[in-house]
Structure 1
Amino acid sequence: MIDPHHAPTGTAYATAPSIVQEICLIAEASGSGPSDVSGDREFRLRKAALLDCIAVQERARYGVAASADADDAAEVAAEWLVEYDVAHSGLSRKGRDLVLAEEYRDYVRAEYEAWSRSQAV
């Protein structure tokens, strides 16, 4: 999705599909029928990672002020994933020091990187 050498996300998205490909996959999953994809952790993770990538690119290209909307969307999606993990996997916000929006986004990056490695096996 992004060049890991020019963004603060490190290698989290190094093997991710392009932003356009990921948007298509997420849109396809969103309209895939009667199942509720919002309850699917993978869907939430991929959407949060996509929005994080977009926000990182926007910030790098246009600066902090111009990326505010993208940052807000990434923060909401990251919190959506954290809320799901708290409810379904016993994640403790306090135990993981998940208080600030940037910490939620760091969590998304770590979880996406772990998920990506598990998909490569």
Structure 2
Amino acid sequence: MKGNFKVGLGMLVSFGLGAAAVVELHAQAKPPAYVISQIDVTNADAYAKEYVPLANKALAESGQKRLVSGGKTISLAGDPPAARIVVSVFESMEKAQAAYTSPAYIEARKIGDKYGKLRIFAVEGISQ
């Protein structure tokens, strides 16, 4: 009887651990969000000194991983891109939205808007 109890208890514990693992894996399966920023800078010195440090700090604290920041950009079709392009990735669309609506980023953006025209949008990625 003790043997059956141990086997049954072991199966129950294994089932519980398996269910918890499935829930955890499902939670991680949210698709990433890619944020693309097109920036026409009107005052490069002020933009770099006043806006960039504040924006970088606010977004890094929100989980941003920057993939592209400036660099050489060419047009493959259509209108040429803005002078500066930034591409970032966040764990989810919700985290991207939270980052760009955070009080710290909103304050930084007030400064950024003085020194450039920003167009920022997010695209939901494909779950891997």
TM-score range, shorter chain: under 0.3
Structure whose residues are more often helix by fraction: 1
TM, length-normalised to structure 1 = 0.28
Structure whose residues are more often strand by fraction: 2
Decide which structure has the larger Cα Rg and report it. Answer: 2
